[in-house]
Amino acid sequence: MHAELNDTQATSPTSFFLSSVWMSGFGLAGVNNQVIFSTGNSDCNFYVSPEACPSSTTYDGVTNVQESVINMTANLAQKNGVFTPSNVYQMDIDDADLGASGVMLVPIQGGAWHLATIVSKDGRLWLLNQSDLATSLDMHQLSQGCWCGTSYFHGADGIGRVVSSAGNTVQTWQIQTSPSPVLIAEGSASVQQSAQDPGFFTTVSSHNSNLSTAIIWAVARITNTSPLMLYGFAAEPSNGKLKLLYAGAAGTWPNTGGNANLVPVVANGKVYVAAYQTLKIYGAGAAPSTAGAANVVAAVDLALPAGFSQRVTGRLLTIHGAKLTMRLRDMTTVTLDIAPAIEQERVANLALGTPYTALVSGAEIDGTLRVEALMRAKPGEAVWPADQR
Which overall architecture, per CATH, does domain 307-383 show? Beta Barrel (2.40)
pLDDT at 214: 85
Beta bridge partners of residue 115, listed in sequence order: 106, 129
Order of strands across the sheet with 69-73? 29-31, 34-38, 69-73, 79-83
| Sequence spans of domains, the chain | 2-301, 307-383
Angstrom distance (rounded) from CA 35 to CA 103: 10
pTM of the model: 0.73
Q: Of 51-55, 245-249, 279-283, which range is least confident?
A: 51-55
pLDDT digits (tens, 9 = 90+) for 7-64: 666 666 555 556 788 999 899 998 888 999 999 888 766 666 677 677 788 888 887 8
pLDDT at residue 138 in the model: 95
pLDDT band at 120 (very low <50, low <70, confident <90, very high): very high
What is the bridge-based pairing of β-strands 182-190 and 169-176? antiparallel
Task: Identify which of 191, 192, 119 has the alpha carbon closest to the alpha carbon of residue 162.
Answer: 119
Domain 2-301 = CATH 2.40.128.630: yes
